[in-house]
């Protein structure tokens, strides 16, 4: 059988695209891309001529059998999303699960990812952490959603768009109060990369005053006790999760 390669692409800075990623895309029989036009620009830059097929959230179910058939015939497929790691708030996870079930080898390349990049420079506790991803859009659902995760004794990582950031921070304030440490990481790896660090109230105020644009990651620090680097047992984490997820 063939192999599925998961290939991360830059989240802003082309210099982060690894030589190995270029090689894998070049050598693959097929590239499964979230947006083929977007990926074509990247391919052109490296003179990569590999054929592309679209693979996104709206055709995942119909594409998986097609890709599996190719893989079973021995083809090498490289999957990419528009930016960062496939399968992280992007298509990929279901395809990987299908490959695992079909005993097709899956190889992931390390590479750009907005959440982890923001985490290690945030100044917040880096272990344990939980990656949550996008929040629901409706205010009420957001509150319910957030209250599931905000009490966990760990840093939690969210993705958000600049259009919704102010309202989302209001929701964080409602759920965790004004004093919790929080960081908003903007435009990572790009020219105007910046970190807004402070309490929920401080960051809220800054965002309201400046209305910053660009892509953003929100990192919420843990509630006070875990900030003193308490060693949380797996049991404690699970117990906290159980209390929250009803
Ligand atoms: N797969 C990607 C990854 O590995 O990070 C995430 C894709 S998700 C559709 C896009 C979201 O990731 C954006 O809304 C933003 O929250 C975050 N993001 C992507 N690039 C970013 C950057 N350069 N700076 C800050 N956040 C970024």
Task: Count CB neighbours of 221 within 10 A.
Answer: 22
Nearest to 105 by CA among 22, 5, 20: 5
Interface ipTM > 0.95: yes
Q: Ligand 1 mean position to 80 CA, how many Å?
A: 14
Q: What is the pLDDT along the chain (246 residues), one digit of tens a residue?
A: 999 999 999 999 999 999 999 999 999 999 999 999 999 999 999 999 999 999 999 999 999 999 999 999 999 999 999 999 999 999 999 999 999 999 999 999 999 999 999 999 999 999 999 999 999 988 889 999 999 999 999 999 999 988 999 999 999 999 999 999 999 999 999 999 999 999 999 999 999 999 999 999 999 999 986 445 555 666 666 666 665 544
DSSP 110: P
pLDDT at 238: 66
pLDDT at 139: 83
pLDDT at 124: 98
CB-based contacts of 81, cutoff 8 Å, min separation 6: 9, 33, 34, 87, 90, 91, 92
- Taking the C-alpha atoms of residue 36 and residue 179, their distance in angstroms, rounded to an integer, is 44
CB-based contacts of 152, cutoff 8 Å, min separation 6: 130, 222, 237, 240, 241, 244
Task: Count CB neighbours of 198 within 10 A.
Answer: 14
Q: Ligand 1 mean position to 119 CA, how many Å?
A: 13
pLDDT at 246: 40
Cα 171 to chain centroid distance, Å, stands at: 21
Task: Count CB neighbours of 166 within 10 A.
Answer: 13
Q: Ligand 1 mean position to 199 CA, how many Å?
A: 23
Prediction pTM value: 0.90
Q: Ligand 1 mean position to 230 CA, how many Å?
A: 30
Ligand 1 pocket, residues with Cβ under 6 angstroms: 11-12, 81, 83-85, 88-90, 113-115, 159-161, 185-190, 215-217
Candidates 8, 11, 79, 193: which one to mutate for ligand 1, based on the most atoms within 8 Å of Cβ?
11
């Amino acid at each position: 059988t063939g192999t599925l390669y998961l290939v991360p692409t830059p989240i802003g800075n082309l210099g982060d695209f690894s030589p190995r990623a270029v090689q894998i895309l070049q050598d693959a029989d097929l590239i499964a891309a979230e947006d083929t036009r977007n990926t074509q620009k990247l391919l052109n830059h490296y003179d990569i001529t590999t054929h592309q097929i679209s693979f996104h959230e709206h055709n995942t179910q119909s594409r998986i059998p097609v890709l599996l058939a190719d893989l079973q015939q021995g083809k090498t497929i490289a999957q990419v999303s528009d930016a960062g790691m496939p399968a992280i708030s992007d298509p990929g996870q279901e395809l990987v699960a299908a490959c695992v079930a079909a005993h097709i080898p899956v190889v992931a390349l390390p590479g750009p990812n907005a959440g982890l990049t923001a985490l290690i420079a945030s100044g917040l506790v880096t272990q344990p952490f939980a990656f949550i991803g996008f929040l629901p859009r409706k205010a009420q659902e957001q509150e319910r959603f957030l209250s599931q995760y905000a009490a966990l004794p760990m840093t939690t990582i969210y993705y958000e768009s600049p259009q919704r950031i102010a309202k989302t921070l209001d929701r964080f304030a409602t759920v965790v109060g004004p004093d919790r440490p929080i960081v908003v990481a903007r435009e990572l790896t790009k020219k105007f990369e910046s970190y807004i660090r402070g309490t929920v109230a401080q960051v809220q105020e800054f965002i309201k005053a400046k209305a910053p644009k660009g892509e953003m990651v929100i990192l919420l620090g843990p509630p006070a006790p875990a900030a003193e680097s308490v060693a949380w047992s797996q049991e404690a984490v699970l117990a906290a999760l159980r209390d929250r997820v009803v």
